[in-house]
Every structure is written in structure tokens, then in C-alpha cells.
A = this chain, B = another copy of it.
Amino acid sequence: MIRYSKSFAPFLLTPMDIREIARRAKVSIATVSRAINRVPTVDPQLAKRVWKVVDELGYYPNTQARALVLGRSRIFGLIVSEITNPFFPEIVQTFEDLAVENNYEILLTSTVHDPKRMESSVRRMIERRVDGVAILTFGMEESLIEHLRDRKVPLVFVDVGPDVPGIANIRINYLNGIRQAVQHLAALRHRRIAFIAGPQYLKSAGARREAFEDSMKEIGLSPDLIVIGDHRMEGGMNALLELNKLNDPPTAVLCSNDMTAIGVLREAYEQNINIPDDLSVVGFDDIHLAEFTIPPLTTVQMSQHDLAKIAFNALLQEVEYGSSSRERHNYELVTSLVLRRSTALAPIRKSAATLPKTNRIAKSRRTSIVDFGPANHNSRVTD
């Protein structure tokens, strides 16, 4: 065990605790504590003396000790599904900015969609005694949540939380943005509009898909062109491959997230399909990168910054003003379309499939499942 004790380097660094400061400033440790915590009743003279020593020695209070006695760690847990998904870094950054402002620390864990990791995430949160947890995984075991709830840890969910008192939920209005996207496409005379969905065990992916279906039906179009992707670029590539195997491929495709759309762009490039002239594509999320794709991606914005801000403040609210356990707080985040250059008027076609057939032959690898009709989209959706 490495411990920097008196005996280790008596001349270099003394213990450097509140006691040492007290000794040098010739006051009691209680006074040091008060001075440091800016308790107003402390004599300015003494306070100054304390601060002088503190600065000279470069003393920093031990947060662990403080947390132990206070019963508050000033740590917020942040559980995301994959930090490598460009959707999250922005959120993490905003969350951290707010944490710094409010003197909190973040305990970040990435579940990588692995149940074991989710479990360890929750365990770590509890062991470190976090003051609150923001769960941005778009899907999580009910039983794990219980562990947190049992301990009365303030929780904020995005989109997937159980609707129970004491748990804050950020509901995302998917319909707004997706409807705009669909209608934008329809206005450009697209009729065969496909949707590349995300993994259907993610509640958020299911919700996006439903929003698509509803938006299509609303304007008398049938949402029968749905392919399941994986919210990654690879999935987008495969999905486009699938779609182009059809007799009457879509002229526009709406993607469940931007990564998928980037995959579509990439596969289109591969197949010499011009975006947007041959095919319009719309993403979802509006990650920073969406502005820099080729062509720049028209996408549905879901502000990562706002999301993080709402989540953090919800937690802060609960902790600082403990409004918890009585009311149920619900927040809403609205999505909306941002137009860039990946959509255009539907190509004019007499009949089906006028695009050069040769270029549209699919490579054989396929991991996505073509799923026609609005069938079983409720299976495997967590809740």
C-alpha cells in the first residue's frame, strides 16, 4: 500500500490534511473546515490565515472524506450505450461542462449493449455512491433500475424510463421531426419511401419506426418498405443493398440515425447511385458530422446539447431540492428537420427500377433482415 505518510518524506510533504493546515495556521481543524467552506461566521482574520497556508501548501480537501461524512459524493453517473457512437460525445461534453460548473464529477460508463456491462455499470454507480444517474442507453433492464430505485438514487431516463413517480423522464417527440421528414420527401414527389430502422430491441428505435409508419399513413402512403439496420454504418450499407434488390426500389430512404445514413451514402457511392438525384436520404440525430458528409445530410435534429442539459438539470433538481419521490417529472425534447443537400425531387421513372441494374447488384454479405409490412414491430421491445 502506497501511502504518503509523514515517515515517507518528512521534509518533502507532510500529511497535508486539514490537521496540518490547522497546526500551521494556529487554529482548530473546525475553523479550517469552516474557512474552506466559506462559513460566514468565521473571523476574517483567521480565514485569511487559513487560506494563506492552504495556498502555500497547495492543499486540496480530500473529497472522499468529505463525501463520507456528508453522505453526498457529488458524482453523477452517466450511462451511455456506446461512447464510440458519435451521438454521445457531444452529450458527454455538455454533461461535463455542467458538472464542472456545479462542482460535480461524472462517472461515465458505456454499456456497449452488453447486459453484463450494464450490470457492472449499475454496480459501480452504487459502489461509488453517486448522487444521481442519467441513463441514456435507450433501453435497459428493469431489474437493474430497481437496484438504483431501492437506494433512492435520483434517476433520469431518456425515452425509456418507466412512468413511475420519482423518476424523471425525457420524452422525445420523434413524430414531429419524422413527420417533417416524410412530408418533405412527399413534397418532393417521393412515393416509395423506405425506412432503415435501428435494432428493434431498443425502445428508441421502435419509437422512431412507429413515427415513420404513422407519418406515412397520415398522408396516405403505406410504410411497407422497412429494413432493420443496426444504427451503425455497416448496417446502413447492408440495408441499401437489400433495398436495391427489390423490383421497385425506393427513391428515398429515411434512416433511424445518422450513422446509418452515412452508411447509405457510402454504399450509394459504391454503387454509383447519385445522392440526391437518384436517391434522397434523410438521417436522424443531426450529429456534428452530418454537416460534413458528401453530400451534406438532411436530417432530423435531436439536440444532443439540449438533451444533456435537461438530463443534468433534472438530476441537479432532484438532488439539490429533493423534489423527488412525490411528483413525476417529465420533460420533452422536440425533434425537427434540418434541410441540407441529400434530398431532391424524385427521379422521374415510367415504371419500376430504371436505375442501371448492373450497378445495383448486391454483394452477398447480408446481416440485415428485410421486414415488409408493419408486422411484429412490438416483439422484443423492452419496457
Binding site for B on A (CB under 8 A): 1-4, 13, 58, 60-65, 67-68, 70-73, 82-84, 86, 88-90, 92-93, 96, 100, 105-110, 112, 117, 120, 123-124, 126-129, 147, 150-152, 233, 262-263, 265-266, 269, 288-289, 292-296, 319, 322
Contacts and interface: CB of A to CB of B under 8 A. Distances in A.
Contact of A152 (B4, B62, B68, B263): B4
B1 A72 contact: yes
Contacts of A109: 96
A84 B93 contact: yes
Contacts of A60: 123, 126-127
A64 B129 contact: yes
Contact of A266 (B58, B63, B73, B294): B294
Given A127-B62, A147-B58, A288 B84 contact: yes
A286 to B, nearest CB: 14
Nearest to A322: B2
B129 A108 contact: no
A22 B190 CA distance: 70
A324 B1 CA distance: 14
A150 B72 CA distance: 28
Per CB-CB distance, the 9 closest pairs between chain A and chain B, nearest first, are: A3-B71, A84-B89, A294-B294, A64-B64, A63-B127, A269-B294, A233-B292, A83-B89, A60-B126
A71 B62 CA distance: 11
A180 B70 CA distance: 57
Nearest to A120: B100
Given A72-B1, A90-B84, A269-B295, A61 B150 contact: no
Most chain-B CB neighbours within 10 Å: which of A13, A82, A96, A233? Answer: A96
20 contacts: A1-B71, A2-B322, A13-B152, A60-B126, A61-B127, A62-B127, A63-B127, A64-B68, A65-B68, A84-B90, A84-B93, A86-B86, A88-B89, A92-B108, A92-B110, A93-B112, A100-B124, A105-B107, A105-B124, A269-B295
Contacts of A73: 64
A63 B128 contact: yes
Nearest to A9: B152
Contact of A2 (B71, B112, B127, B263): B71
A150 B58 contact: yes
Given A86-B89, A263-B292, 5 more contacts: A2-B72, A13-B152, A64-B64, A266-B294, A269-B294
Contacts of A152: 4, 13
Contact of A108 (B72, B84, B106): B106
Given A109-B96, A295-B269, A151 B62 contact: no
B100 A92 contact: no
A107 to B, nearest CB: 6
B71 A68 contact: no
Contacts of A1: 70-72
Contacts of A58: 147, 150
Contacts of A64: 64, 67-68, 73, 128-129
